[in-house]
Amino acid sequence: MSEQRPESSGRDTSDEPSMEWLGALKSDADDPELQPVDPAVTQAFEAILEEEQPPGIPPAPAPAPGPVQGPPPAAEPEVLPPVPEALSTPPEALSGPPPQEFTRALAEERTTGPQPVRGTGPQPTYEPGFGSGPQPAYGTDPQAPFGTGPQPAVGTGQRPLPGLDTGALPVVPSGDPGTGQFTRAGSGPFPSGDSGPQPALPAPNQPPLYGTGPLPAIGSGTGPQPAIGGTGPQPAVESAPELEAPAFELGTDTVAIAAATPDRPQPYVELGMNDEEYRRVRSILGRRPTSAELAIYSVMWSEHCSYKSSKVHLRQFGDKAPQTDALLVGMGENAGVVDVGHGWAVTFKVESHNHPSYVEPHQGAATGVGGIVRDIMSMGARPVAVMDSLRFGPADAPDTHRVLPGVVAGIGGYGNSLGIPNIGGETVFDACYAQNPLVNALCVGVLKHEDIKRAVAPGPGNRVILFGALTGPDGIGGASVLASATFDEESQQKRPSVQVGDPFMEKLLIECCLELFREDLVVGIQDLGAAGVSCATTELAAAGTGGMHVELDLVPLRDATLRPEEILMSESQERMMAVVAPDKVDRFMEICGRWEIPATVIGAVTDTGRLVMTWRGDTIVDIPPGTAADEGPVYERPLAPPHDLGTLQSDTPGRLTRPSTGEELRRTVLWLASSPNLASKTWVTSQYDRYVLGNTVMAMPENSGVVRIDDESGLGVAISLDGNGRYTRLDPYAGAQLALSEAYRNVAATGARPLAVTNCLNFGSPEDPGVMWQFARAVEGLADACQYLGVPVTGGNVSFYNQTGTTPINPTPVIGVLGVHDDVRRRVNMALTSDGATIALLGETREEFGGSEWAHVVYGHLGGLPPLVDLAAERALASVLVTAARDGLITAAHDLSDGGLSQTLVEACLRGGLGARITLPGDPFVTLFSESVARAMVAVRPGAEARLAALCEQAGVPVTQLGITGGDSLQVSGTDQREIFNIPLAELREAHERMLPSYAD
Amino acid sequence: MDAARVGVITFPGSLDDRDAARAVRLAGAEPVMLWHADHDLQGVDAVVLPGGFSYGDYLRAGAIARFAPLMTELVSAAKAGLPVLGICNGFQVLCESHLLPGALLPNAGLHFVCRDQRLSIENADTAWTTEYRAGQEIVVPIKNRDGRYVADRETLRELADSGRIVARYLDLNPNGSQDDIAGICNEAGNVVGLMPHPEHAVESLTGPSTDGLGFFTSIVKRLVNA
């Protein structure tokens, strides 16, 4: 495919949702002009609401369990719910008591096969313990020495489980003040002393489970979950019983109503659509869309999901793709897959979660990790490592102290709990990210060639199964509405719409999916990310036989009051959708049950070419899925170089005073080593587990992360993630190529052959011609360079609207390069370890300071042009590094990039705890601090000097002897052999390692 | 002679179970994966409770896992002398099960901490430490969120007096544990809880050292000699 397509998960939900559009939808539904109004019914309904609801508390969810009752109060009237004009109750309240009984009745009626098996019974309402709501009153454990430690009342296996059919209320701890949803709780069959979440799903042939998790039943869901999704034969969709909508269900906008009310005004503008897009939807459907359809189109055609502004440029990645046999799956799937030999394949991808991480740093970053991990899982792979590329405002800015620790704790808290090692990344500070941090997360997964899975829904009759966490009101509309919002004072109001992650559920999902894959139980799979069910169903259907029928009321809910539009757009985390052959559904459910993961058949694949969704028996969606998934609008936005670019480029760093004396140079080395961007990031990385899975061969601060894939052969991969917003600001075409060059070089420095590329393109608003020009140039530069270097782009992500007010961030393409180690035991570290080794500089140093760390740190200067790109030299250098590693010619290698040779020497010395005596071959300042590309420092294995020199000569790589390892200081002399300066390692270490903790703690 | 069989229990949320199995294998024993929801120890000769976040550890680390069906069998077998090593989350589960005294609280800095940690082996006579010398210094990774060992003063004194402190942190106490305690054992010495991760220091390729292998070779040797 020639485009980068949004992933189901496009978790950059970049962008969080305001809830305003919902109000719009609801007020639309509530439009008295369009609804029959029966004052009597209305009064009755109001009375019911008043009676049942303490002030300020939303309507109770389901009533007590027990035999199926008719839908509660409002069930009697058969007419559509009327809405008086004067009604002042908020729309939310009007959706009334949730129709669980109703839904359950429906489900029971339709479950013709065996009664719901494990995995489908009443679901517990468990929610991660983060944040919200009071903790259930657990009993105390008298034995705990520290007293209050709540002992879980959750099952010891002694308590009877709720019967599958009783619709038992999942627990509300008595005495729990509730979260506003619990007002009617407590009538379940449990002893009132019981508290804690109820176990779900008994596993096969087992005594009652002893609990599904320590999760207090906080959160919004309550009420019995319908016994949905039986594993028995799926009822024929055609035979859907005609069930009347309960009267309290206000204004479900059905296809029939839409056809009959062509002129009803719709809130498409609030949903981020323009007039033309809305007209197009009407023309596709031949009528106005229902509100559910509008929700789907608006979110699928959002910038975030449709790539409507970037598509025309991203095509270059396909058009210019280099010839390669390595690519097994290219762009367009959840992630690209590359062949790494021995029957193994690797899939990797990076995605942004920028805007949520500003609004709520911990959860924003955590769910960013969760999303990219699910993308990798949905390719059929086991996730084996994550990395993250982070950008914040100035290190000493007050808001950075809010955002940075939250983001790091979020990434760590989620990734560590998943058991996926975090092996590297970058942490960069710059004022341009002050109100728009960048949080880009990468995941890499490993699989066998034959295990590749696709996001397709082929085979009419195959079942569509939603599994994982329950659906709640998380990040509703996130992908669409907030994606087009930039941050301003109102962003505080958007806080509630950030999704909350549950890494425990994700860990179970990983293991469950791998077991499902092992038994070959799925024909297609897709994770749910941005745009949730909308995205998964349209994309699966569009890529499959073309049709799908979904009964939306079968989606298991955490909040039973959700309306269909909300279910369609919910971005609740930790959910996946699978397409499963009917005869494999039972086994599928069994495995989900073993992992205690709720799974529900919500529909089936059809050959109608239509995606049809029903809600309480009414058809609310009937669209050709491809029109939403693939045929969104495409814009060629106007481009123009930013007006200040000329001024910026002509303001070269030549005017800046340079250090010249030994003392000035010494101070500059220490200054840079202790500056936020170059200082040790141990404070960050020590909060990540780099060891879990036992295959991490290299991790930060090494050049790249390296993980072993195969214990026997030593096959492994190296990955580096790099970007430079300052370079890209000065010259976007070159900046993207420089980011690629650096990542490529970093991978080669470990001894790995660079193989493939992923990218996360972080830019300002595409509606700004200057930004769009930066984007177009950067994409062009990246595509050209990938073609030249022979490394295909396998996928990626675009994040627009990274700006505050009208000021965009520095354009920041973050490039991930993946390389292969045939044997990771041959990898080369950056540490100087053995005394007496020759230190050599590979590559040519020019006087290049535009966009350099030196100019940035010392003068806060950004101007001139970035270092000259030299892809031929990059390729030659990489070939030398890879061969030298393979042949054992070098004992250390470290690339030169930000901060130049100075920083490379500091890091290599400190990493190995060994000093070096260096003789600078040219102008000391230029040699130490220039950021010329295609350079690396190596320590040569004693005796291999001649072979390395011959290798370099053959490849045309200049090689310069710099000095020798040894001692406990970094000692630097000039060509005249006179010492310029000498810095004890202890002093270097203090400077390098003190910075971050001093700001962050 | 058949290799010793060492069980590794997987709870929902266990993370280092495969790593523990690899360490067992590298030590020369046969790893046997045990499932939390079974009631069957499969006749293993020893058991490792691996690291991780069982049940997400949303409540309190190890608090839910101790109620796993298999723990019923494990607790009685441990009391009868079955060698058990709890690593990290496994240590937390052993404390929650009262096979070991004390508790593990959130780290003093409230951050997850991952670092290469120097330790001293204080007791080289437990079932899991005979391959070390008393006082031997080793480096193994530590990585945890809730690693701060606490107990009342009397328990601490008793642990110290009876030589039941198995390992202490050197250089830097990463989590605020009382008396720098990194690991303890029960009175019989067959049950050991350890906050650091010896299973991540069994190969020079992937660990900071191979110092951790001794825990696993200790048990293998003991079982073979038994």
pLDDT tens-place string over residues A348-358: 999 999 998 99
pLDDT tens for each residue of B9-44: 999 999 999 999 999 999 999 999 999 999 999 999
Residue A568 has pLDDT above 50, yes or no: yes
- Chain B residue numbers with beta carbons less than 8 Å from the beta carbon of A212 are 55
Residue A228 has pLDDT above 70, yes or no: no
Both structure tokens of A563: 């309306």
Predicted confidence at residue A203, as pLDDT, reads 36
Nearest to B58 by CA among A386, A412, A131: A131
Over residues A948-963, the mean pLDDT reads: 97
What CATH number is given to the structural domain containing B124?
A: 3.40.50.880
Predicted confidence at residue A58, as pLDDT, reads 38
Nearest to A89 by CA among A58, A123, A127, A65: A58
Cis before A701 (ω within 30) = yes
Domain count, chain B: 1
Q: What domain range is B10 assigned to?
A: 5-225
Nearest to A694 among B19, B102, B112 (CB): B19
In percent, the amount of chain A with pLDDT more than 90 equals: 62
pLDDT band at A999 (very low <50, low <70, confident <90, very high): low
Predicted confidence at residue A129, as pLDDT, reads 31
Searching chain B, which residue's CA lies closest to the CA of residue A594? B37
- Let me know if B137 is a catalytic residue: no
Residue A92 has pLDDT above 70, yes or no: no
The active-site residue out of B73, B96, B122, B199 is: B199
What is the overall mean pLDDT for chain B? 95
Cross-chain residue pair B63–A151, CB shorter than 8 Å: yes
SS3 content of chain B, % helix, strand, coil (to 5): 30, 25, 45
pLDDT-wise least confident of A120-129, A731-740, A831-840, B96-105: A120-129
Which has the higher per-residue pLDDT, B29 or A500?
A: B29
Residue A174 has pLDDT above 50, yes or no: no
pLDDT tens for each residue of A795-823: 999 999 999 878 999 999 999 999 999 99
A923 vs A658, A907, A930, B164, CA distance in Å?
A: 12, 22, 10, 62
Predicted confidence at residue B14, as pLDDT, reads 96
Over residues A475-498, the mean pLDDT reads: 46
Q: Which residues contact A699 (CB under 8 A, 6 or more apart)?
A: A421, A422, A423, A424, A685, A690, A705, A706
Mutation for B interface: A206, A689, A708, A993, most B CBs within 10 A: A689
For strand A916-919 and strand A812-821, is the pairing parallel, antiparallel, or unpaired? unpaired
Nearest to A833 by CA among A742, A907, A912, A720: A912
Residue A77 has pLDDT above 90, yes or no: no
- Chain A residue numbers with beta carbons less than 8 Å from the beta carbon of B68 are 210
Predicted confidence at residue A95, as pLDDT, reads 35
Residue A29 has pLDDT above 70, yes or no: no
- Chain A residue numbers with beta carbons less than 8 Å from the beta carbon of B56 are 128-129, 213-215, 417, 502-505, 507
- Let me know if B95 is a catalytic residue: no
Predicted confidence at residue A14, as pLDDT, reads 38
pLDDT tens for each residue of A319-378: 888 888 888 887 777 788 999 999 999 999 999 999 989 988 999 999 999 999 999 999
Predicted confidence at residue B46, as pLDDT, reads 97
Angstroms from A76 CA to nearest CA on chain B: 43
Cross-chain residue pair A138–B67, CB shorter than 8 Å: no
Cross-chain residue pair A694–B18, CB shorter than 8 Å: yes
Both structure tokens of A953: 């000569």
Mutation for A interface: B8, B104, B114, most A CBs within 10 A: B114
- Chain A residue numbers with beta carbons less than 8 Å from the beta carbon of B14 are 419
Predicted confidence at residue B217, as pLDDT, reads 97
- Chain B residue numbers with beta carbons less than 8 Å from the beta carbon of A595 are 12
pLDDT band at B67 (very low <50, low <70, confident <90, very high): very high
* Number of continuous H segments (helices) and E segments (strands) in chain A: 31, 30
pLDDT band at A566 (very low <50, low <70, confident <90, very high): confident
Q: Do residues B75 and B49 lie in contact, with contact meaning Cβ atoms separated by under 8 Å?
A: no
Nearest to A688 among B51, B114, B152 (CB): B114
Mutation for B interface: A691, A696, A702, A826, most B CBs within 10 A: A691
CA B100 vs. chain centroid, Å, equals: 11
Which has the higher per-residue pLDDT, A837 or A92?
A: A837
Predicted confidence at residue A122, as pLDDT, reads 36
Burial A503-514 (b: 16+ CB within 10 A, else e): bbbbbbbbbbbb
pLDDT band at A781 (very low <50, low <70, confident <90, very high): very high
Predicted confidence at residue A116, as pLDDT, reads 33
Highest mean pLDDT among A93-107, A625-639, A808-822: A808-822
Q: Which pTM does this prediction carry? A: 0.81
Angstroms from A692 CA to nearest CA on chain B: 6
Which has the higher per-residue pLDDT, A113 or A512?
A: A512
For strand A618-623 and strand A382-392, is the pairing parallel, antiparallel, or unpaired? unpaired
- Let me know if A449 is a catalytic residue: no
Torsion angle of C-alpha atoms A628, A630, A635, A636, degrees rounded to 10: 180
Which has the higher per-residue pLDDT, B54 or A271?
A: B54
Predicted confidence at residue A326, as pLDDT, reads 84
Residue A158 has pLDDT above 50, yes or no: no
Nearest to B103 among A144, A409, A690 (CB): A144
**C-alpha–C-alpha distance, residues A235 and A604, integer Å:** 10
Cross-chain residue pair A686–B114, CB shorter than 8 Å: yes
Cross-chain residue pair A694–B22, CB shorter than 8 Å: yes
DSSP code at position A187: -
pLDDT-wise least confident of A299-303, A603-607, A883-887: A299-303
Predicted confidence at residue B168, as pLDDT, reads 98
3-class DSSP assignment, residue A88: coil
**C-alpha–C-alpha distance, residues A609 and A295, integer Å:** 20
What is the overall mean pLDDT for chain A? 78
For strand A705-708 and strand A344-352, is the pairing parallel, antiparallel, or unpaired? unpaired
Residue A758 has pLDDT above 70, yes or no: yes
**C-alpha–C-alpha distance, residues A363 and A413, integer Å:** 10
pLDDT tens for each residue of B177-186: 999 999 999 9
Predicted confidence at residue A322, as pLDDT, reads 86
- Chain B residue numbers with beta carbons less than 8 Å from the beta carbon of A695 are 206
Residue A115 has pLDDT above 80, yes or no: no
Residue A83 has pLDDT above 60, yes or no: no
Residue A47 has pLDDT above 80, yes or no: no
Angstroms from B226 CA to nearest CA on chain A: 30
**C-alpha–C-alpha distance, residues B122 and B134, integer Å:** 5
Residue B72 has phi, psi (to 5 degrees) of: -60, -50
Interface residue B73 vs chain A (CB under 8 A):
no
Nearest to B12 among A149, A409, A596 (CB): A596
- Chain A residue numbers with beta carbons less than 8 Å from the beta carbon of B111 are 409, 412, 686-687
pLDDT band at B153 (very low <50, low <70, confident <90, very high): very high
* Encoded amino acid at A466, one letter: L
Residue A156 has pLDDT above 80, yes or no: no
Task: Tally C-beta pairs within 8 A across A and B.
Answer: 151
Residue A11 has pLDDT above 80, yes or no: no
Nearest to A754 by CA among A739, A743, A765: A743
Nearest to A189 by CA among A157, A216, A167: A167
Searching chain A, which residue's CA lies closest to the CA of residue B70? A210
**C-alpha–C-alpha distance, residues A384 and A923, integer Å:** 45
Residue A415 has pLDDT above 50, yes or no: yes
